[in-house]
Copies of this chain bind each other. A is one copy, B any other.
Amino acid sequence: MFVLLKEGVTESEVRGVLDSAEALGVSEASVTRAGKRTMVRVKGGAAEQAVRYERLAGVERVLPSDAPYVLAARATQGCSTEVAVGRALFGGTRVEFIGGPCAVETESQLRTAAEAVAKAGARMLRGGAFKPRTSPYAFQGLGERGLELLRKVADEFELAVVTEVMAPEQAVLVAQYADMLQIGSRSVQNFPLLEAAARTGKPVLLKRGMMSELDEFLASAEYILARGNQQVVLCERGVRSFDKHTRNLLDVMAVPLLKGLTHLPVVVDPSHATGRSELVAPAAYAAVAAGADGLIVEVHDEPEKALSDGRQALRCAEFQALVQTARAIATAIGRCV
């Protein structure tokens, strides 16, 4: 059973809930804090005891123990969560743009992309230093050298940095350089990694798995929230399909569905969702039209020479045009830009 406490609950009210749990003879009771919200998790009590907790001071409501997620649920929190990363703010009325190469390759490649990204009005730079690759023989990224370049170049253009972390033991290192940690789609149920990322205290960009049901995706977000880190941005990036014209199938309706289920911001990655550069713009426009809080787009000055995913990267000028049209669509559905 999850006893959700009111915002601004006092320590003595929390104590009161724990005391009641003990009096009711439950096998375990523990306190979780995420953002402004406190929750007491009670194990072993009978379902009928819910009403006993609901009457206590400071208690907002009680949820059943088989709820797949609690802290991530829209109902848990009155308003939408806003996640600030540098000058970017996800979950407000503005659509935020993140751009940059799939992988950091060289300083000049990164600078060219970063300059274009900043000029287009984006506030964040993406780029992979640790790259999860299907084949053990594919380019695996520059590692820490890539992180250094990301930090250096991003600072030149006042951009915040998001980059992927692949293993729990990398989390602290990546957090030293990045403003936001990305959990890739292959890691969406890498629970030790989710916890390690949460513990850094940095905002987390959590990508949906190729086959995550929305409830599972939110349960993965719950792993981060349950460790006290409320700064989570969800990212739809395409699901696996039976048609092979595209690498993945963009599930654009995941955006309004997720926004109904959770208070967390939702962005879309039109590059991975399509895998083909000529489809990135229509995918990005569809995402914004469906209500996405932001876009994360692969940008490369010479896609044909990219060491990974060149097929889906936009050239700098294409990215700038995309941002412009996406903003016009945002205006059409009533967002500010």
Residue A316, interface by CB 8 Å: no
Does A214 make an interface contact (CB < 8 A)? yes
Q: Which residues of B contact A256 (CB under 8 A)?
A: 278-279, 282
Chain B residues contacting A41 (CB-CB under 8 Å) are 137
Q: Which of B190, B246, B257 contacts A190 (CB 8 A)?
A: B190
User: Which among A53-61, A108-116, A166-174 touches the partner chain?
Assistant: A166-174
Q: Chain A, interface size: which category? A: 35 or more
Minimum CB distance partner of A330 in chain B = B332
Residues of B within 8 A of A210 (CB): 211
Interface: A328 (CB within 8 A): yes
Q: Which A residues form the contact surface with B (CB < 8 A)? A: 2, 41, 65, 68-70, 132-137, 166-169, 186-187, 189-193, 210-211, 213-214, 216, 219-220, 222-223, 226, 239-246, 249-253, 255-257, 260, 273-274, 278-279, 282-283, 285-291, 325, 328-329, 331-333
By a CB distance below 8 angstroms, the chain B residues around A191 are 132-133, 136, 166
10 of the cross-chain contacts (CB-CB < 8 Å) are A133-B191, A210-B211, A213-B243, A214-B243, A239-B243, A253-B283, A256-B278, A282-B291, A286-B287, A286-B290
Name A194's closest neighbour in chain B (CB-CB).
B136
A283 and chain B: residue at smallest CB distance: B253
A246 CA to B133 CA, complexed, in Å: 25
Having A2-B137, A169-B169, A213-B244, one finds 9 other A-B pairs with CB under 8 Å, namely A136-B226, A166-B191, A166-B192, A186-B190, A213-B243, A246-B253, A246-B257, A250-B252, A252-B283
Query: Quick one: which of A250, A278, A279, A286 has the most chain B CB within 10 A?
Result: A286
